[in-house]
Chain A
Amino acid sequence: MIIVEECRRQLGPGVQFYCERLHVPEGVHMALWGPSGCGKSTLLNLISGLLRADSGKVQVDGIDISGLSEGQLDAFRGERVGFVFQTFNLLAPFTAMQNVMLSMRFSDTIPAAEWKPRAESLLERVGLGHRLHSKPKTMSVGEQQRVAIARALANKHKLIVADEPTGSLDPKTATAVMDLLLELCRESNVTLLLVTHAREIADRLPALYDCTGLVQEVAP
């Protein structure tokens, strides 16, 4: 599903990201673990097409994304990757249901007639059937992250990337959200890459990739 080999990306003067090799088979749930600043989020951004490698190979679902144009990367993300962010990143002017529907609107992988019923069904599945028409600012952080999970799953993508998805939540809510994310990813049989610096969270996933040392200082 995911192949990263000899991947380099210049992050600044004298600072470089380098990943020698990462292979993630389809359907695997893997934690990208490491201390802050080690390069785990950069690795996730390279795999999800938010960043482009300077050299090396980044292949996702058979597509070498390092050679894609900006427009092709937009399409790649819309068609293949679901995102869960640490700060939820719901769009403030829209309701929970509209946020989920917007994901389908931009992705263009689900027929328009299915947007509404699918959004309702997913929000009900994450326990927010009663908040369909609530706007993000009226929801708790836990509820917002559950909307974000529903949004990530809306397009039936094969890959879900989650960057510190519980980083902004209190421990109790974090556990509940994590349980929900893992459960839904298992149900949907998607590949999950989850970035975390917390070992106890990383250990809940069946696979772990230690990102320590991906960011290196190099001679200018």
Chain B
Amino acid sequence: MSLWHIAWSYLWNRKFTTILTILSVALAVALISSVLTLREETRKRFEEEGQAFDLVVGAKGSPLQLVLSSVYFMDSPTGNIPYAEYEQLKADKEYVKAAFPISIGDSYLGFRIVGTVRELFEHKWESLLTGAQRAPFQLADGRYFEKSMEAVLGAAVAQQTGLKVGETFVSTHGVIAVPESLGGHSHANLPYTVVGILKPSGSPFDRAVYTSLNSVWDAHRHGPNESGEAHEEHHEAEAGHPEEEEEAAYQEWGAKPESMITAVLVQLQSQLLRFQYREKIRETTSVMAAIPINEIATFYDQFLGTAKLVLLAVGYLVVIISALSILIGLYLSIIQRKRDLAVMRALGASTYDIFGAVLIEAFWVTILGIGCGWLVGGAVSFGLGKYLAWRFGLTISAFNLTTEHLGAFATVALVGLIAGILPAWQAYHGDVAHDLAER
């Protein structure tokens, strides 16, 4: 018959209000927990994938946009650069260990078709999270592309489209899938043939179709059954890529469309050269270089950092509301069982017994609320993680318990206990004879 048992018995005796109070605490904790988990996990995953390349070189514009479009396949490209830029970078062996051109222009069912070179499939790097070697371009089936219009599918593309090795598909012009009824159009005269499927890597690389640069250039030339008018309309509809701008770019570079690429993914001889080489490119060329991991860190600190603070503020506001509900719930319960408390006092219960039992009730509610909240927060993170995996190819761990989580939970527990002090004080200072005499 410990005080823990006594407190639990009273909570159990009023199950409904106890469960409601626990749920209110759980709601607050779930919000805080999922914000912390999602923020930390997505940051880790973004940084992990950002580690894949030391630099991304592309057309001038927003460095973040360049990184998002080239490494995470998320945003529209900043524009095109001549293929010659890639050749120059590749030749700079003093700084550059490996360079991979990519050309992004078309898509299939919303998945980007990335024109590149076969060397990309051999690209490996050290994981930031585990230290293990990352090699996301391993084949699960078939082979790598060898000639034009052959395609290798990322694991998520194969899974979601159902395409298999040997099957063909027709790409849609543009990186955003636009139905033909809304002006979108396909390259029906140039179907791709699936020759390989990659193993799942839990990264954005799962969500792209890889083909040769020639495939993209071939598809980009207007085919016989594709009207120039439709092509032009589509380009006007596509954000950031009006036909006029592309033409202007080609003229600026003095290049033809088939000799243009979207970006170059660069692996340097040493990670320590990132800033130095970025500056060198800025000073000596007319293209732009961005450090993926740096851009992502800035993005998280500036934009998502603020969003995190806002969401955490909402979470802690809910904690205060939950604390009030604990206080009100316990206070009402103390009023309802004044006689029980008086009986305990008559039986010899001490200050410690009465005060402690009520405080332990607050503790139980808070601890169970934190436990349930953590589970609900994990479930929410799991659900959102599924969405992130489906939408961006980022695989996250849902049930985290970091020092940030523990700090937040300790704060909630403290607030819960403080909420229990007033009812506990009230409980002990009842008039025993009066409360016993009340009918």
Which of A50, A71, A74 sits near B436, CB closer than 8 Å?
A: A50
Whether, in the assembled complex, B350 has its beta carbon less than 8 Å from a beta carbon of chain A, the answer is yes
Add 14 more A-B contacts to A70-B351, A91-B340 (CB < 8 A): A50-B436, A71-B350, A71-B351, A74-B345, A74-B348, A74-B350, A89-B339, A89-B343, A91-B344, A94-B9, A106-B349, A107-B348, A115-B1, A151-B347
Cβ of B275 within 8 Å of any chain A Cβ, yes or no, is no
Of A45, A51, A101, the residue contacting B1 (CB under 8 A) is A101
Chain A positions near chain B (C-beta within 8 angstroms) = 41, 45, 48, 50-51, 70-71, 74-75, 77-79, 83, 85, 87, 89, 91-94, 98, 101-103, 105-108, 115, 151
Write out the residue numbers on chain B whose beta carbons fall within 8 Å of the beta carbon of A71: 350-351
Instruction: Let me know if A106 and B10 touch, CB within 8 A.
Output: no
Q: Tell me, yes or no, whether B433 is within 8 Å of chain A by CB.
A: yes
A45 B347 Cβ-Cβ under 8 A? no
Pick from B1, B10, B13, B436: contact of A105, CB below 8 A: B1
Docked CA distance A42–B344 (Å)? 19
In chain B, residues 1-22, which have Cβ atoms closer than 8 Å to a Cβ of chain A?
1, 6, 9-10, 12-13
Interface residues of B in 327-346 (CB under 8 A from A): 339-340, 343-346
Q: Chain A contacts of B340 at CB under 8 A?
A: 89, 91-92
With a cutoff of 8 Å between Cβ atoms, the chain A residues found around residue B351 in the complex are 70-71, 74
* Chain A residues closer than 8 Å to B353, beta-carbon distance: 106
16 pairs from A and B in contact (CB 8 Å cutoff): A74-B345, A74-B349, A77-B348, A78-B349, A79-B348, A89-B340, A89-B346, A89-B436, A92-B340, A93-B12, A93-B13, A102-B6, A102-B344, A103-B347, A105-B1, A107-B348
A103 to B353, CA, bound (A): 12
B1 touches A98 (CB 8 A): yes
Indicate if the CB atoms of A50 and B432 lie closer than 8 Å: yes
Residues of A within 8 A of B345 (CB): 74, 77
What is the minimal beta-carbon distance from B428 to any residue of chain A, in angstroms? 9
Q: Is the CB of A102 within 8 A of B1?
A: yes
B-side residues, CB < 8 A to A, are 1, 6, 9-10, 12-13, 339-340, 343-351, 353, 432-433, 436-437, 439
Interface SS majority for chain A: helix
List of A residues within 8 angstroms of B13 by Cβ: 92-93
Given the complex, which residues of B lie within 8 Å of A45, measured CB to CB? 433
Residues of A within 8 A of B9 (CB): 93-94, 98
Q: Output the least CB separation between B248 and chain A (Å).
A: 80
With a cutoff of 8 Å between Cβ atoms, the chain B residues found around residue A103 in the complex are 347-348
Instruction: List, in ascending order, chain B residues with CB within 8 A of A107's CB.
Output: 347-348
Give the distance to chain A from B374, nearest Cβ to Cβ, in Å. 28
- The chain B residue sitting closest to A115, CB to CB, is B1
- With A89-B436, A115-B1 known as contacts, the answer to whether A77 contacts B347 (CB < 8 A) is yes
| Bound CA–CA A71/B353 (angstroms) | 11
* B339 surroundings in chain A (CB, below 8 A): 89
A93–B10 contact, CB under 8 A? Answer: yes
In the assembled complex, which residues on chain B have CB atoms less than 8 Å from the CB atom of A92? Answer: 13, 340
Determine which of A75, A87, A93 lies in contact with B348 in the assembled complex, contact meaning CB atoms within 8 Å: A75
Q: What A residues does B348 contact at CB under 8 A?
A: 74-75, 77-79, 103, 106-108
Residue of B nearest to A135 (CB): B13
The 9 closest A-B pairs by CB, nearest first: A78-B348, A93-B13, A93-B9, A50-B433, A106-B348, A105-B1, A106-B349, A106-B347, A89-B343
Specify the chain A residue showing the minimal Cβ separation from B432: A50
Q: Is the CB of A41 within 8 A of B347?
A: no
- Among B10, B348, B351, B432, the most chain A Cβ lie within 10 Å of the Cβ of B348
B347→A78 contact, CB < 8 A = yes
Q: Which residues of A contact B436 (CB under 8 A)?
A: 50, 85, 89
With both chains docked as a complex, state the minimum distance between the C-beta of B348 and any C-beta of chain A, in angstroms. Answer: 2
Which of A51, A91, A151 has the most CB atoms of chain B within a 10 A radius of its CB?
A91
Which residue in chain B gives the minimum CB-CB distance to A108? B348
Q: Which residues of chain B are within 8 angstroms of A70 by Cβ–Cβ distance?
A: 351
